[in-house]
Amino acid sequence: MARTSPVEFIQQVRAETRKVVWPTRRETIMTGIMVMIMTLILGVFFFVIDSGFEALVKLLLGLATK
């Protein structure tokens, strides 16, 4: 594989960066809001699942000690 000089590397990086389609401010805000909503939903979901398993384990341990 051919080696590239640092100057050539920087030129290639700049050329590739110009090809990037950057999101608009609105798209960035909407994506951030969606991430927060999904994080909240998953947090509640895992809290409910964890509470259910906790209750099940306490029930089973309660049966074992009787």
State the pLDDT at residue 21.
94
Instruction: Give the count of domains, the chain.
Output: 1
Pick the more confident residue, 66 or 58.
Answer: 58
Task: Identify whether 44 is part of a domain.
Answer: yes
Task: Identify whether 4 is part of a domain.
Answer: no
Task: Identify whether 36 is part of a domain.
Answer: yes
pLDDT digits (tens, 9 = 90+) for 6-58: 999 999 999 999 999 999 999 999 999 999 999 999 999 999 999 999 999 99
User: Does residue 23 contact residue 31 with C-beta atoms inside 8 Å?
Assistant: yes
State the pLDDT at residue 52.
98
Task: Name the residue range of residue 59's domain.
Answer: 24-66
Q: How many whole angstroms separate alpha carbon 58 and alpha carbon 52?
A: 10
Residue with structure tokens 């259910």? 52
Task: Identify whether 50 is part of a domain.
Answer: yes
Task: Identify whether 55 is part of a domain.
Answer: yes
User: Does residue 4 contact residue 12 with C-beta atoms inside 8 Å?
Assistant: yes
Copy the structure tokens of residue 22. 């950057």
Copy the structure tokens of residue 10. 């920087």
